[in-house]
Structure 1
């Protein structure tokens, strides 16, 4: 279970929203992580490489900056094995390919633009997540 942290959750959501709006205003691009990373890896010499690299670098460096500023990081426990993580990552990759985007692209950016495709994709993510949690906790005893 997790702790209820409404202020930190609100602050985190606000920062995500500001990042999404800023990227759209400055570059006219959607902040979908799979698309940003995919473009970074598949088009290394494009005009968009710099902002994509900066975006990904910011995701990697931000926990280091947080640790330097506060002296601690949130403890994350992963209650599954590495093979289960690999299988899950593979399945998410398939979903990203078939769904034409990831949860951040559809859930944050697509819903805010009232995209019908993103509404269907986000509904699918949410239903699948609920079914997975239910099955893991109540059927398989995890």
Structure 2
């Protein structure tokens, strides 16, 4: 038992920078974008553009470190690009989906934390725990 599914997503939020501009800055395309829509019912969609690049369909392992390494490899050499985006008002972070039966948990190595720090990326987990008694 333990982790049943995990993946990581690089997220970039901006009030002013469009997803197309972020694509051009990074040199690769988002897997998903949400363009700011002042009429949208959800506040975060009304106020910000959202750019997403995810490992969800790239890697099926339940090792969160492998998913994070895919994103960090994609961002190699782009430290100044991310810093420039943040200087223009973008928020950058990595979120991790993590579903589990309740045993174990996600982890980070010191080297991974160093790489995240160099890139200026915050990291967080969206965690779900299955109730084994229901299955």
TM-score by length of 2: 0.24
Greater length-normalized contact order (CA 8 Å, ≥ 6 residues apart): 2
Q: Point out the structure with the larger helix share.
A: 1
Q: Which has the larger radius of gyration?
A: 1
